[in-house]
Amino acid sequence: MNRRRYTSRLRRVSREQKVRTFPNEETLRAAWQAYKASPNDELRNRLVEHYLCLVRYAAERIRAKLPDEVDVDDLMSAGIFGLVDAIDAFDLERGVKFETYCAPRIRGAILDELRSMDWVPRLVRYRAHKLNETMRALEAELGRIPTEDEIARRLKLPPDQFGKLLRDASAVSLVSLSQRFGDSDSERDLGEIDVVPDKQSRDPMAEAQKADIKELITHELTRAERLIIVLYYYEQMTMKEIGATLDLSESRVSQMHSAIIARLRTELGVELKGERVVAGTDVLA
């Protein structure tokens, strides 16, 4: 049986289990003695199912200190194999209760799995944790958010090392896009991915304003004048390229461009002044 199927079966047993596999201490002790005398998969699996509640207990305690996106079943997968190793290594002659012996092994297996999945080095995460503790302590003492100089002095770090610590700490603070974002009044949960700004998308308001300005600029121009403005300012073409497109000389295009700009400045100035007058009249009314 492969690891995924095995852990899936044991997690299902843990959720459905109402009583332990062995009803009393005598049958449990007999099972231990039989397994140590002649190890086999059937007895080991029964022992694992019997102590599976210890794995769930350890996984849920560790899960309480982790982000929401961490699943307790994933932690149990690692804890189960810590339990199996504890069963194989347990010595009945030492007179120690198995629950006491296996607890640190289960917890250690879960923590090892978390560390293996963590891309941040342990030293960096330790320093980030120390930075957060220092910031909270200073905030409690000062009654305000401490400055970077105050934090650096408390940590006894020179500016260059403190700057490196801040950069490392910012790398640790990652957010899963699948996790929940605060409280939402809507029927569905609002996730982090729903509030991430799309920097590649265009602002509809800005696009509408550009379209209005373009219409305002070109609505009284002739076809040739409109083409000169559009090709020069929107298509980023040179005067020479525009002349070749319209079958005009470069100097003629330049003259027309200067005349168009002068006329538009006058027309736009009058129109904007008229809009301000109308707006003022409305307010006074």
**Between vectors from CA 130 to CA 125 and to CA 131, what angle results, nearest 5°?**
95
Cα atoms in the 13 Å half-sphere on the side-chain side of 7:
17
Residue 181, domain member (yes or no): no
Residue 234 falls inside a structural domain: yes
Its domain, for residue 73, covers 3-117
Check if the beta carbon of residue 227 is closer than 8 Å to that of residue 246: yes
State the total domains in the chain: 3
Is 182 part of any domain? Answer: no
Q: Tens of pLDDT along 115-140?
A: 777 666 667 777 777 888 888 898 89
* CATH of residue 168: 1.10.10
Contacts of 2-10 with CB under 8 Å at 24 or more apart are 3/77, 3/81, 6/80, 7/76, 7/77, 7/80, 7/81, 10/48, 10/49, 10/52, 10/76, 10/80
Same domain as 210, residue 228: yes
Is 209 contained in some domain? yes
Q: Is residue 197 part of a domain?
A: no
pLDDT reported for residue 276:
35
Residues 59 and 91 in one domain: yes
Q: For residues 59 and 105, state if they share a domain.
A: yes
Q: Are residues 49 and 89 in the same domain?
A: yes
What per-residue confidence (pLDDT) applies to 7? 53
pLDDT at 275: 42
Q: What is the pLDDT along the chain (285 residues), one digit of tens a residue?
A: 444 555 555 555 444 444 456 778 888 889 999 999 998 888 898 999 899 999 999 999 998 887 676 788 888 988 999 999 999 999 888 888 899 999 999 999 998 888 777 666 667 777 777 888 888 898 898 888 888 888 888 888 888 888 887 777 765 555 555 556 555 555 556 665 566 666 677 778 888 887 777 777 667 788 888 888 888 888 889 999 998 888 889 999 999 989 888 887 877 665 544 443 333 333 223
Determine, yes or no, domain membership for 194.
no
Let me know: does 22 contact 50? Beta carbons within 8 Å.
yes
Statement to judge: residues 108 and 125 lie in one domain: no
For residue 78, being part of any structural domain is answered with yes
Q: Distance between CA 65 and CA 72 in Å, rounded?
A: 11
Q: Are residues 266 and 212 in the same domain?
A: yes
Q: How far apart are CA 108 and CA 66, in angstroms?
A: 16
Same domain, 158 and 232: no
Q: Are residues 113 and 13 in the same domain?
A: yes
Residues 10 and 88 in one domain: yes
Q: What angle do CA 269, 270, 274 make, to 5 degrees?
A: 115
The structure tokens listed for 23 are: 């009803």
User: For position 272, what pLDDT does the model report?
Assistant: 46
| Domain's final residue, options 98, 117, 136 | 117
**Are 56 and 150 part of one and the same domain?**
no
Whether 212 and 109 map to the same domain: the answer is no
- Asked if residue 13 and residue 110 are part of one domain, the reply reads yes
Residue 65 lies in a domain: yes
Q: Where residue 275 sits, what CATH number does that domain have? A: 1.20.140.160
